A and B are shown apart, each in its own frame.
Chain A
Amino acid sequence: MTPEFALQYLINALSLGSLYALMALGMAIVFGVLRLVNLAYGELIMVAGYTLFVLNDSPLPWLILAAGAVAMAMVASVLTERIAFRPVRVNSLNAMLITSFAVSTLLQNAALLLVSPRTRAVNVPGVLSQNLDVGGFNVSMANVLTIIVSLGLLFGLNLLLRRTTLGIALRAAADDFPMTRMLGVRADRVIATAFAISGVLAGVVGLFWVARIGSVIPTIGAGPLLIALIATVIGGMSGLSGAIVGGYLLGALTVGMQLLLPQGLLDYRDAFTFAIVILVLLVRPQGLIAGRSAARVG
Protein backbone atom coordinates (compact mmCIF):
# COMPACT_ATOMS: atom_id res chain seq x y z
CA MET A 1 0.00 0.00 0.00
CA THR A 2 1.53 3.31 -1.03
CA PRO A 3 1.51 6.22 1.44
CA GLU A 4 -0.78 8.16 -0.85
CA PHE A 5 -3.19 5.25 -0.94
CA ALA A 6 -3.13 4.95 2.85
CA LEU A 7 -3.75 8.67 3.27
CA GLN A 8 -6.62 8.52 0.80
CA TYR A 9 -8.16 5.64 2.69
CA LEU A 10 -7.73 7.38 6.01
CA ILE A 11 -9.31 10.59 4.78
CA ASN A 12 -12.18 8.82 3.03
CA ALA A 13 -12.87 6.68 6.07
CA LEU A 14 -12.70 9.64 8.46
CA SER A 15 -14.91 11.73 6.23
CA LEU A 16 -17.59 9.10 5.75
CA GLY A 17 -17.26 8.08 9.39
CA SER A 18 -17.75 11.68 10.50
CA LEU A 19 -20.97 11.93 8.52
CA TYR A 20 -22.20 8.61 9.85
CA ALA A 21 -21.29 9.65 13.39
CA LEU A 22 -23.30 12.89 13.06
CA MET A 23 -26.25 10.96 11.63
CA ALA A 24 -26.15 8.49 14.51
CA LEU A 25 -25.66 11.19 17.10
CA GLY A 26 -28.71 13.11 15.92
CA MET A 27 -30.76 9.99 16.33
CA ALA A 28 -29.19 8.99 19.66
CA ILE A 29 -29.73 12.32 21.37
CA VAL A 30 -33.50 12.04 20.95
CA PHE A 31 -33.44 8.35 21.81
CA GLY A 32 -31.54 9.18 24.99
CA VAL A 33 -34.24 11.38 26.49
CA LEU A 34 -37.39 9.88 24.93
CA ARG A 35 -36.43 6.26 24.16
CA LEU A 36 -37.93 7.05 20.76
CA VAL A 37 -36.43 5.82 17.51
CA ASN A 38 -37.39 8.81 15.40
CA LEU A 39 -38.20 7.35 11.99
CA ALA A 40 -38.76 10.87 10.63
CA TYR A 41 -35.09 11.67 11.24
CA GLY A 42 -34.13 11.07 7.60
CA GLU A 43 -36.67 13.63 6.46
CA LEU A 44 -34.80 16.34 8.35
CA ILE A 45 -31.90 15.66 6.00
CA MET A 46 -34.38 15.91 3.15
CA VAL A 47 -35.59 19.29 4.43
CA ALA A 48 -32.02 20.60 4.39
CA GLY A 49 -31.59 19.23 0.86
CA TYR A 50 -34.73 20.88 -0.51
CA THR A 51 -33.87 24.15 1.19
CA LEU A 52 -30.65 24.15 -0.82
CA PHE A 53 -32.60 23.23 -3.97
CA VAL A 54 -35.10 26.08 -3.49
CA LEU A 55 -32.22 28.50 -2.98
CA ASN A 56 -30.35 27.14 -6.03
CA ASP A 57 -30.47 30.42 -7.93
CA SER A 58 -30.07 32.63 -4.94
CA PRO A 59 -27.26 35.20 -5.14
CA LEU A 60 -26.48 34.77 -1.46
CA PRO A 61 -23.05 33.43 -0.46
CA TRP A 62 -22.95 29.68 0.04
CA LEU A 63 -22.21 29.90 3.74
CA ILE A 64 -25.51 31.73 4.28
CA LEU A 65 -27.39 29.15 2.22
CA ALA A 66 -25.80 26.40 4.27
CA ALA A 67 -26.78 28.12 7.50
CA GLY A 68 -30.31 28.51 6.14
CA ALA A 69 -30.55 24.81 5.29
CA VAL A 70 -29.34 23.80 8.75
CA ALA A 71 -31.76 26.25 10.36
CA MET A 72 -34.66 24.81 8.35
CA ALA A 73 -33.80 21.27 9.43
CA MET A 74 -33.68 22.44 13.04
CA VAL A 75 -37.03 24.22 12.75
CA ALA A 76 -38.56 21.14 11.11
CA SER A 77 -37.24 18.96 13.93
CA VAL A 78 -38.57 21.22 16.69
CA LEU A 79 -41.91 21.63 14.90
CA THR A 80 -42.44 17.89 14.48
CA GLU A 81 -41.79 17.48 18.19
CA ARG A 82 -44.18 20.28 19.11
CA ILE A 83 -46.98 19.30 16.72
CA ALA A 84 -46.72 15.54 16.37
CA PHE A 85 -44.77 13.97 19.24
CA ARG A 86 -45.70 16.08 22.25
CA PRO A 87 -49.44 15.35 22.12
CA VAL A 88 -48.89 11.57 22.01
CA ARG A 89 -45.96 11.49 24.41
CA VAL A 90 -48.05 10.57 27.45
CA ASN A 91 -49.79 7.71 25.65
CA SER A 92 -47.13 5.16 24.89
CA LEU A 93 -43.81 4.66 23.24
CA ASN A 94 -45.52 2.75 20.43
CA ALA A 95 -47.80 5.70 19.75
CA MET A 96 -44.74 7.90 19.31
CA LEU A 97 -43.01 5.36 17.09
CA ILE A 98 -46.02 5.10 14.78
CA THR A 99 -46.32 8.88 14.83
CA SER A 100 -42.72 9.21 13.71
CA PHE A 101 -43.44 6.86 10.82
CA ALA A 102 -46.47 8.99 9.89
CA VAL A 103 -44.44 12.21 10.07
CA SER A 104 -41.81 10.63 7.83
CA THR A 105 -44.40 9.65 5.20
CA LEU A 106 -46.12 13.02 5.44
CA LEU A 107 -42.92 15.01 4.91
CA GLN A 108 -41.83 12.81 2.01
CA ASN A 109 -45.18 13.21 0.31
CA ALA A 110 -45.13 16.94 0.90
CA ALA A 111 -41.81 17.13 -0.98
CA LEU A 112 -43.22 14.89 -3.66
CA LEU A 113 -46.27 17.12 -4.17
CA LEU A 114 -44.67 20.51 -3.70
CA VAL A 115 -41.48 19.90 -5.66
CA SER A 116 -41.34 16.71 -7.67
CA PRO A 117 -41.06 12.97 -7.21
CA ARG A 118 -38.01 13.06 -9.47
CA THR A 119 -34.40 13.79 -8.69
CA ARG A 120 -33.57 17.48 -8.62
CA ALA A 121 -30.08 18.81 -9.09
CA VAL A 122 -28.62 21.00 -6.37
CA ASN A 123 -25.82 23.44 -7.07
CA VAL A 124 -22.78 22.46 -5.08
CA PRO A 125 -20.33 25.26 -4.34
CA GLY A 126 -17.13 25.08 -6.32
CA VAL A 127 -14.97 24.84 -3.24
CA LEU A 128 -16.30 21.34 -2.52
CA SER A 129 -15.18 19.92 -5.85
CA GLN A 130 -11.64 21.25 -5.49
CA ASN A 131 -8.67 19.21 -4.43
CA LEU A 132 -6.29 20.08 -1.68
CA ASP A 133 -2.56 19.54 -1.65
CA VAL A 134 -1.46 17.91 1.59
CA GLY A 135 2.29 17.32 1.72
CA GLY A 136 2.37 16.53 -1.97
CA PHE A 137 -0.74 14.36 -1.94
CA ASN A 138 -4.03 15.24 -3.54
CA VAL A 139 -7.03 15.00 -1.25
CA SER A 140 -10.59 16.09 -1.87
CA MET A 141 -11.62 19.36 -0.28
CA ALA A 142 -15.13 18.01 0.40
CA ASN A 143 -13.73 15.22 2.54
CA VAL A 144 -11.41 17.49 4.47
CA LEU A 145 -14.21 19.97 5.12
CA THR A 146 -16.54 17.18 6.24
CA ILE A 147 -13.97 16.04 8.78
CA ILE A 148 -13.21 19.54 10.08
CA VAL A 149 -16.85 20.61 10.39
CA SER A 150 -17.87 17.32 12.01
CA LEU A 151 -15.08 17.40 14.56
CA GLY A 152 -15.92 21.04 15.31
CA LEU A 153 -19.55 20.10 15.81
CA LEU A 154 -18.68 17.16 18.07
CA PHE A 155 -16.41 19.40 20.11
CA GLY A 156 -19.08 22.10 20.43
CA LEU A 157 -21.75 19.59 21.37
CA ASN A 158 -19.49 18.11 24.01
CA LEU A 159 -18.99 21.56 25.51
CA LEU A 160 -22.73 22.19 25.47
CA LEU A 161 -23.48 18.90 27.19
CA ARG A 162 -20.79 19.26 29.85
CA ARG A 163 -20.60 22.96 30.60
CA THR A 164 -24.13 24.34 30.33
CA THR A 165 -26.84 23.59 32.85
CA LEU A 166 -29.27 22.73 30.07
CA GLY A 167 -26.74 20.31 28.58
CA ILE A 168 -26.18 18.64 31.94
CA ALA A 169 -29.96 18.42 32.39
CA LEU A 170 -30.16 16.72 28.98
CA ARG A 171 -27.66 14.07 30.08
CA ALA A 172 -29.45 13.70 33.40
CA ALA A 173 -32.74 13.16 31.57
CA ALA A 174 -31.14 10.31 29.64
CA ASP A 175 -30.17 8.76 33.00
CA ASP A 176 -33.44 9.28 34.85
CA PHE A 177 -36.07 11.56 33.35
CA PRO A 178 -38.62 11.60 36.21
CA MET A 179 -35.89 12.54 38.70
CA THR A 180 -34.67 15.32 36.41
CA ARG A 181 -38.17 16.75 36.38
CA MET A 182 -38.39 16.50 40.17
CA LEU A 183 -35.44 18.86 40.36
CA GLY A 184 -37.51 21.43 38.48
CA VAL A 185 -36.25 20.87 34.94
CA ARG A 186 -39.12 21.21 32.47
CA ALA A 187 -39.61 18.04 30.42
CA ASP A 188 -40.78 20.01 27.38
CA ARG A 189 -37.68 22.15 27.45
CA VAL A 190 -35.29 19.21 27.60
CA ILE A 191 -37.09 17.37 24.82
CA ALA A 192 -37.31 20.44 22.59
CA THR A 193 -33.58 21.00 23.08
CA ALA A 194 -32.84 17.39 22.14
CA PHE A 195 -34.90 17.78 18.96
CA ALA A 196 -33.20 21.09 18.13
CA ILE A 197 -29.74 19.51 18.44
CA SER A 198 -30.95 16.53 16.43
CA GLY A 199 -32.19 18.90 13.72
CA VAL A 200 -28.91 20.81 13.55
CA LEU A 201 -26.95 17.56 13.20
CA ALA A 202 -29.33 16.34 10.49
CA GLY A 203 -29.02 19.68 8.71
CA VAL A 204 -25.22 19.56 8.63
CA VAL A 205 -25.36 15.94 7.47
CA GLY A 206 -27.84 17.05 4.80
CA LEU A 207 -25.42 19.66 3.47
CA PHE A 208 -22.57 17.24 2.97
CA TRP A 209 -24.81 14.37 1.89
CA VAL A 210 -26.44 16.44 -0.83
CA ALA A 211 -23.05 17.82 -1.83
CA ARG A 212 -21.80 14.25 -2.30
CA ILE A 213 -24.76 13.23 -4.43
CA GLY A 214 -25.31 16.59 -6.13
CA SER A 215 -29.08 16.18 -6.08
CA VAL A 216 -32.10 15.69 -3.86
CA ILE A 217 -35.16 13.40 -4.01
CA PRO A 218 -37.99 12.86 -1.52
CA THR A 219 -36.52 9.55 -0.37
CA ILE A 220 -33.03 10.94 0.23
CA GLY A 221 -33.42 10.42 3.99
CA ALA A 222 -33.91 6.65 3.83
CA GLY A 223 -30.21 5.81 3.49
CA PRO A 224 -29.01 8.08 6.30
CA LEU A 225 -31.84 6.84 8.57
CA LEU A 226 -30.73 3.25 8.07
CA ILE A 227 -27.10 4.14 8.63
CA ALA A 228 -27.95 6.08 11.79
CA LEU A 229 -29.92 3.11 13.10
CA ILE A 230 -27.17 0.61 12.40
CA ALA A 231 -24.42 2.84 13.77
CA THR A 232 -26.30 3.45 17.03
CA VAL A 233 -27.02 -0.25 17.38
CA ILE A 234 -23.41 -1.37 16.89
CA GLY A 235 -22.13 1.47 19.05
CA GLY A 236 -24.64 0.73 21.79
CA MET A 237 -27.98 2.45 22.27
CA SER A 238 -27.14 3.64 25.75
CA GLY A 239 -25.06 6.72 25.25
CA LEU A 240 -23.88 9.32 22.80
CA SER A 241 -20.32 8.05 22.66
CA GLY A 242 -21.65 4.74 21.35
CA ALA A 243 -23.28 6.51 18.41
CA ILE A 244 -20.03 8.27 17.54
CA VAL A 245 -17.95 5.10 17.77
CA GLY A 246 -20.55 3.20 15.74
CA GLY A 247 -20.60 5.91 13.09
CA TYR A 248 -16.84 6.01 12.59
CA LEU A 249 -16.63 2.24 12.63
CA LEU A 250 -19.34 1.86 10.00
CA GLY A 251 -17.66 4.53 7.88
CA ALA A 252 -14.27 2.82 8.07
CA LEU A 253 -15.89 -0.53 7.33
CA THR A 254 -17.74 0.76 4.29
CA VAL A 255 -14.66 2.44 2.83
CA GLY A 256 -12.57 -0.61 3.66
CA MET A 257 -14.96 -2.88 1.78
CA GLN A 258 -14.88 -0.54 -1.18
CA LEU A 259 -11.12 -0.93 -1.15
CA LEU A 260 -10.72 -4.63 -0.46
CA LEU A 261 -13.53 -6.26 -2.41
CA PRO A 262 -12.72 -7.46 -5.91
CA GLN A 263 -14.38 -5.58 -8.76
CA GLY A 264 -17.05 -8.25 -9.32
CA LEU A 265 -18.25 -8.11 -5.72
CA LEU A 266 -18.32 -4.33 -5.31
CA ASP A 267 -22.07 -4.26 -5.94
CA TYR A 268 -22.45 -6.32 -2.78
CA ARG A 269 -20.41 -3.96 -0.64
CA ASP A 270 -23.27 -3.17 1.73
CA ALA A 271 -24.10 -6.85 2.12
CA PHE A 272 -20.54 -7.53 3.25
CA THR A 273 -20.52 -4.50 5.54
CA PHE A 274 -23.76 -5.50 7.21
CA ALA A 275 -22.59 -9.11 7.53
CA ILE A 276 -19.73 -7.80 9.65
CA VAL A 277 -22.20 -5.68 11.64
CA ILE A 278 -24.19 -8.85 12.36
CA LEU A 279 -21.02 -10.61 13.49
CA VAL A 280 -20.24 -7.73 15.84
CA LEU A 281 -23.72 -7.94 17.31
CA LEU A 282 -23.44 -11.71 17.76
CA VAL A 283 -20.41 -11.16 19.92
CA ARG A 284 -21.66 -8.03 21.65
CA PRO A 285 -25.46 -7.84 21.42
CA GLN A 286 -25.51 -4.78 23.69
CA GLY A 287 -23.30 -2.87 21.27
CA LEU A 288 -19.66 -1.95 21.58
CA ILE A 289 -20.20 0.56 24.38
CA ALA A 290 -22.36 -1.12 26.97
CA GLY A 291 -24.51 1.02 29.11
CA ARG A 292 -27.48 1.45 31.29
CA SER A 293 -31.20 1.46 30.94
CA ALA A 294 -33.62 3.96 32.32
CA ALA A 295 -37.32 4.53 32.46
CA ARG A 296 -38.97 6.60 29.77
CA VAL A 297 -40.91 9.74 30.45
CA GLY A 298 -44.67 10.01 30.20
Chain B
Amino acid sequence: MLSVAQVEARYGAIVALRDVSLTVEEGELVALVGSNGAGKSTTLAVVAGLHRPTGGTVNFEGTSLVGRAPEDVARLGISLVPENRGIFPTLTVAENLRLGAYLRRDGAAAVRQDLDGLFERFPVLGQRRDQQAGTLSGGEQQQLAIARALVGKPRLLMLDEPSLGLAPTLVDRVFELVGELHRSGVTILLVEQNVRRTLEVADRAYLLRTGRMEASGRPSDLRALVDIESVYLGGGPTTSTADAGPG
Protein backbone atom coordinates (compact mmCIF):
# COMPACT_ATOMS: atom_id res chain seq x y z
CA MET B 1 0.00 0.00 0.00
CA LEU B 2 2.68 2.46 1.12
CA SER B 3 6.24 1.99 0.09
CA VAL B 4 9.08 4.31 1.07
CA ALA B 5 12.40 3.47 -0.54
CA GLN B 6 15.90 4.85 0.07
CA VAL B 7 14.55 8.21 1.13
CA GLU B 8 16.95 10.98 1.99
CA ALA B 9 15.75 14.24 3.53
CA ARG B 10 17.50 17.34 4.78
CA TYR B 11 16.76 20.45 6.79
CA GLY B 12 19.19 22.86 5.19
CA ALA B 13 22.61 21.28 5.58
CA ILE B 14 21.47 18.83 8.23
CA VAL B 15 20.65 15.38 6.95
CA ALA B 16 17.60 14.08 8.80
CA LEU B 17 17.06 10.88 6.82
CA ARG B 18 19.95 9.08 5.10
CA ASP B 19 18.44 5.90 3.81
CA VAL B 20 14.96 5.08 4.96
CA SER B 21 12.88 2.31 3.46
CA LEU B 22 9.66 0.86 4.76
CA THR B 23 6.41 -0.64 3.57
CA VAL B 24 2.92 -0.77 4.99
CA GLU B 25 0.39 -3.27 3.68
CA GLU B 26 -3.36 -2.84 3.80
CA GLY B 27 -4.79 -3.60 7.24
CA GLU B 28 -1.40 -3.68 8.94
CA LEU B 29 -0.30 -1.83 12.04
CA VAL B 30 3.32 -0.92 11.39
CA ALA B 31 5.38 0.79 14.06
CA LEU B 32 8.31 3.10 13.53
CA VAL B 33 10.38 3.33 16.69
CA GLY B 34 13.64 4.96 17.61
CA SER B 35 15.11 7.53 19.93
CA ASN B 36 14.83 11.28 19.88
CA GLY B 37 15.90 12.88 16.62
CA ALA B 38 16.13 9.56 14.80
CA GLY B 39 13.98 10.92 11.99
CA LYS B 40 10.62 9.33 12.78
CA SER B 41 8.58 12.51 12.47
CA THR B 42 10.50 13.54 9.37
CA THR B 43 9.60 10.24 7.74
CA LEU B 44 5.91 10.94 8.36
CA ALA B 45 6.33 14.54 7.14
CA VAL B 46 7.82 13.22 3.89
CA VAL B 47 4.88 10.89 3.33
CA ALA B 48 2.34 13.61 4.21
CA GLY B 49 3.83 16.03 1.67
CA LEU B 50 5.01 18.46 4.34
CA HIS B 51 8.67 17.87 3.64
CA ARG B 52 10.16 17.21 0.24
CA PRO B 53 12.77 14.44 0.21
CA THR B 54 16.08 15.04 -1.57
CA GLY B 55 16.27 11.44 -2.74
CA GLY B 56 14.41 8.17 -2.91
CA THR B 57 10.85 7.27 -3.74
CA VAL B 58 7.56 7.32 -1.88
CA ASN B 59 4.63 5.47 -3.41
CA PHE B 60 1.08 4.99 -2.25
CA GLU B 61 -0.83 2.37 -4.23
CA GLY B 62 1.34 3.01 -7.23
CA THR B 63 1.13 6.81 -7.08
CA SER B 64 4.29 8.74 -6.31
CA LEU B 65 3.92 11.13 -3.38
CA VAL B 66 7.19 13.00 -3.91
CA GLY B 67 6.53 16.66 -4.66
CA ARG B 68 2.83 16.35 -3.95
CA ALA B 69 1.19 19.06 -1.83
CA PRO B 70 -0.23 18.02 1.57
CA GLU B 71 -3.80 18.55 0.34
CA ASP B 72 -3.21 16.19 -2.59
CA VAL B 73 -1.71 13.52 -0.34
CA ALA B 74 -4.78 13.87 1.89
CA ARG B 75 -7.00 13.35 -1.14
CA LEU B 76 -5.39 9.96 -1.69
CA GLY B 77 -6.64 8.91 1.74
CA ILE B 78 -3.58 9.49 3.89
CA SER B 79 -4.15 11.18 7.22
CA LEU B 80 -1.52 12.39 9.69
CA VAL B 81 -2.15 13.14 13.34
CA PRO B 82 0.97 15.19 14.05
CA GLU B 83 2.95 15.17 17.23
CA ASN B 84 1.61 18.55 18.35
CA ARG B 85 -1.87 17.14 17.58
CA GLY B 86 -2.62 19.96 15.15
CA ILE B 87 -6.03 20.81 16.51
CA PHE B 88 -7.39 24.26 15.68
CA PRO B 89 -7.52 25.99 19.08
CA THR B 90 -9.87 28.84 18.13
CA LEU B 91 -12.37 26.54 16.42
CA THR B 92 -14.96 24.60 18.36
CA VAL B 93 -14.71 20.83 18.73
CA ALA B 94 -17.56 20.46 16.24
CA GLU B 95 -15.84 22.75 13.71
CA ASN B 96 -12.60 20.78 14.06
CA LEU B 97 -14.50 17.59 13.29
CA ARG B 98 -16.36 19.22 10.42
CA LEU B 99 -13.05 19.99 8.73
CA GLY B 100 -11.98 16.41 9.39
CA ALA B 101 -14.85 15.41 7.12
CA TYR B 102 -13.83 17.99 4.49
CA LEU B 103 -13.03 15.38 1.86
CA ARG B 104 -16.03 13.17 2.56
CA ARG B 105 -18.31 12.98 -0.45
CA ASP B 106 -20.83 10.45 0.79
CA GLY B 107 -23.30 12.95 2.20
CA ALA B 108 -24.03 14.77 5.43
CA ALA B 109 -26.17 11.95 6.81
CA ALA B 110 -23.33 9.44 6.62
CA VAL B 111 -20.93 11.90 8.25
CA ARG B 112 -23.42 12.59 11.04
CA GLN B 113 -23.78 8.87 11.66
CA ASP B 114 -20.00 8.47 11.90
CA LEU B 115 -19.81 11.45 14.23
CA ASP B 116 -22.40 9.86 16.51
CA GLY B 117 -20.23 6.76 16.59
CA LEU B 118 -17.18 8.85 17.45
CA PHE B 119 -19.02 10.69 20.20
CA GLU B 120 -19.89 7.29 21.65
CA ARG B 121 -16.25 6.31 21.57
CA PHE B 122 -15.05 9.70 22.84
CA PRO B 123 -17.92 10.91 25.07
CA VAL B 124 -16.00 13.97 26.21
CA LEU B 125 -15.95 15.32 22.65
CA GLY B 126 -19.73 15.05 22.48
CA GLN B 127 -20.09 16.91 25.76
CA ARG B 128 -17.75 19.67 24.63
CA ARG B 129 -18.69 19.93 20.97
CA ASP B 130 -19.42 23.66 21.15
CA GLN B 131 -16.38 24.48 23.26
CA GLN B 132 -13.22 25.99 21.77
CA ALA B 133 -10.75 23.17 21.14
CA GLY B 134 -7.95 25.19 22.75
CA THR B 135 -9.69 24.89 26.11
CA LEU B 136 -9.52 21.06 26.11
CA SER B 137 -6.98 19.19 28.22
CA GLY B 138 -4.03 17.46 26.55
CA GLY B 139 -5.72 14.07 26.59
CA GLU B 140 -8.95 15.50 25.22
CA GLN B 141 -7.05 17.27 22.46
CA GLN B 142 -5.41 13.99 21.51
CA GLN B 143 -8.83 12.34 21.32
CA LEU B 144 -10.07 15.19 19.16
CA ALA B 145 -7.07 14.92 16.85
CA ILE B 146 -7.62 11.19 16.39
CA ALA B 147 -11.40 11.57 16.01
CA ARG B 148 -10.88 14.30 13.42
CA ALA B 149 -8.62 11.99 11.43
CA LEU B 150 -11.08 9.09 11.73
CA VAL B 151 -14.11 11.05 10.54
CA GLY B 152 -12.24 11.53 7.26
CA LYS B 153 -12.19 7.73 6.83
CA PRO B 154 -8.50 7.57 5.93
CA ARG B 155 -7.10 4.60 4.05
CA LEU B 156 -3.82 5.06 5.91
CA LEU B 157 -3.70 6.65 9.35
CA MET B 158 -0.33 7.96 10.53
CA LEU B 159 -0.06 8.67 14.25
CA ASP B 160 2.94 10.62 15.51
CA GLU B 161 3.61 9.96 19.22
CA PRO B 162 -0.03 9.76 20.27
CA SER B 163 0.96 8.92 23.86
CA LEU B 164 3.32 11.88 24.24
CA GLY B 165 2.76 14.03 27.28
CA LEU B 166 -0.24 12.05 28.50
CA ALA B 167 -0.83 10.72 32.03
CA PRO B 168 -0.14 6.96 32.35
CA THR B 169 -3.82 5.99 32.46
CA LEU B 170 -4.41 7.95 29.26
CA VAL B 171 -1.41 6.28 27.66
CA ASP B 172 -3.12 2.96 28.31
CA ARG B 173 -6.27 4.26 26.65
CA VAL B 174 -4.36 5.48 23.60
CA PHE B 175 -2.73 2.09 23.06
CA GLU B 176 -6.06 0.35 23.59
CA LEU B 177 -7.59 2.66 21.02
CA VAL B 178 -4.81 2.03 18.51
CA GLY B 179 -5.30 -1.71 18.98
CA GLU B 180 -9.07 -1.34 18.53
CA LEU B 181 -8.68 0.70 15.36
CA HIS B 182 -6.28 -1.87 14.01
CA ARG B 183 -8.69 -4.73 14.71
CA SER B 184 -11.48 -2.79 12.98
CA GLY B 185 -9.39 -2.80 9.82
CA VAL B 186 -7.73 0.64 9.77
CA THR B 187 -4.23 0.62 8.28
CA ILE B 188 -1.92 2.39 10.72
CA LEU B 189 1.64 3.67 10.66
CA LEU B 190 2.50 4.41 14.27
CA VAL B 191 5.48 6.44 15.42
CA GLU B 192 6.28 6.05 19.10
CA GLN B 193 8.99 6.43 21.69
CA ASN B 194 7.17 4.11 24.01
CA VAL B 195 8.81 1.09 22.38
CA ARG B 196 7.63 -1.62 24.74
CA ARG B 197 3.96 -0.73 24.46
CA THR B 198 4.23 -0.19 20.74
CA LEU B 199 5.79 -3.57 20.08
CA GLU B 200 2.90 -5.15 21.96
CA VAL B 201 0.33 -3.89 19.46
CA ALA B 202 2.25 -3.76 16.16
CA ASP B 203 2.27 -6.38 13.41
CA ARG B 204 5.69 -5.29 12.24
CA ALA B 205 8.14 -2.64 13.33
CA TYR B 206 11.06 -0.64 12.04
CA LEU B 207 13.85 0.70 14.19
CA LEU B 208 15.19 4.03 13.05
CA ARG B 209 18.47 5.40 14.29
CA THR B 210 19.98 8.75 13.27
CA GLY B 211 18.26 8.78 9.93
CA ARG B 212 18.93 5.14 9.04
CA MET B 213 16.79 2.05 9.18
CA GLU B 214 18.63 -0.02 11.76
CA ALA B 215 16.39 -3.05 11.83
CA SER B 216 12.96 -4.27 10.89
CA GLY B 217 10.83 -7.28 11.46
CA ARG B 218 8.27 -8.79 13.77
CA PRO B 219 8.01 -7.26 17.25
CA SER B 220 9.52 -10.37 18.83
CA ASP B 221 12.61 -10.03 16.61
CA LEU B 222 13.01 -6.39 17.46
CA ARG B 223 12.43 -6.59 21.15
CA ALA B 224 15.85 -8.06 21.92
CA LEU B 225 17.50 -5.51 19.67
CA VAL B 226 15.70 -2.60 21.24
CA ASP B 227 16.84 -3.69 24.69
CA ILE B 228 20.43 -3.60 23.53
CA GLU B 229 19.79 -0.33 21.83
CA SER B 230 18.44 1.30 24.95
CA VAL B 231 21.45 0.14 26.94
CA TYR B 232 23.56 1.63 24.19
CA LEU B 233 21.89 4.99 24.48
CA GLY B 234 22.14 4.92 28.24
CA GLY B 235 18.61 6.19 28.50
CA GLY B 236 17.27 3.13 30.22
CA PRO B 237 14.69 0.96 28.50
CA THR B 238 12.47 3.22 26.43
CA THR B 239 9.38 2.08 28.22
CA SER B 240 8.65 5.07 30.38
CA THR B 241 6.72 7.93 28.87
CA ALA B 242 7.90 10.51 31.34
CA ASP B 243 11.13 11.15 29.49
CA ALA B 244 9.54 11.10 26.06
CA GLY B 245 10.58 14.17 24.14
CA PRO B 246 9.80 15.33 20.61
CA GLY B 247 10.85 12.75 18.04
Contact = CB atoms under 8 A, between A and B. Distances in A.
Interface string A158-192: 00000001001101101110111111111100000
Given A187-B69, A187-B71, A239-B90, A179 B102 contact: no
Given A171-B88, A184-B152, A239-B90, A178 B70 contact: yes
A176 B79 CA distance: 16
Nearest to A181: B70
Contact of A179 (B73, B86, B95, B98): B86
B136 to A, nearest CB: 14
Interface residues on A, range: 20 to 34
B89 interface: yes
A118 interface: no
A181 B51 CA distance: 13
A292 B90 contact: yes
Contacts of A187: 69, 71
Contact of A182 (B74, B90, B134): B74
A185 B88 contact: no
B100 interface: yes
Interface residues on B, range: 20 to 34
Given A187-B69, A187-B71, A182 B99 contact: no
Contact of B90 (A171, A183, A184): A171
B152 A172 contact: no
Interface string B64-79: 0000011101110001
Given A165-B102, A172-B99, A181-B69, 14 more contacts: A171-B88, A171-B90, A176-B88, A179-B82, A180-B99, A182-B48, A182-B71, A182-B74, A182-B80, A183-B102, A184-B71, A184-B103, A185-B99, A292-B90
The 8 residue pairs across chains A and B that have the minimum distance between CB atoms: A179-B86, A184-B103, A184-B74, A181-B70, A175-B88, A172-B88, A181-B71, A182-B70
Contact of B99 (A169, A178, A239): A169
Nearest to A179: B86
Contacts of B69: 181, 187
A172 B152 CA distance: 16
A226 B131 CA distance: 36
B48 A184 contact: no
Contacts of A181: 69-71, 74
B91 interface: yes
Interface string B200-234: 00000000000000000000000000000000000
Given A169-B102, A172-B99, A176-B86, A182 B91 contact: no
A165 B98 contact: yes
Nearest to A292: B89
Contacts of A174: 90
B174 interface: no
B50 interface: yes
A180 B86 CA distance: 9
A187 B49 CA distance: 13
A292 B90 CA distance: 9
A176 B82 CA distance: 12
A181 B80 CA distance: 11
A178 B74 contact: no
B79 A182 contact: yes
Q: Which of B80, B90, B148 has the most CB of A within 10 A?
A: B90
B33 to A, nearest CB: 23
Interface string B144-166: 00001000100000000000000
